[in-house]
Amino acid sequence: MTTGYKWRKSSRSSQSTACVEVAGDIPGGTAVRDSKDPNGPELVLTPAVFTAFVRAVKSGRLDLS
């Protein structure tokens, strides 16, 4: 687990229980974690992978409901 990142939640996070937080102040990447488990695992993604992740989320491809 990392420390010192500036985590932020989406402005839409109050509308859902399935939220992630991101930290973009990481050299060469963006970190993602579950907002309900701030001490849990963190994924650090390269810019290209983060862009693909955001596109997949927006398109609904990762919707498990």
Q: Give phi and psi for 45, each to the nearest 5.
A: -115, 145
Q: What is the pLDDT of residue 47?
A: 93
21 and 35 Cβ atoms separated by less than 8 Å? yes
> From the CB of residue 65, how many other CB atoms can be counted at a distance below 10 Å?
4
Domain residues of the chain, as ranges? Answer: 8-59
Residues of the chain with pLDDT under 70: 1-3, 12-18
Distance CA 13, CA 6 (A): 17
Q: Side chain identity at 53, as an amino acid letter?
A: F
Q: What is the pTM of this model?
A: 0.73
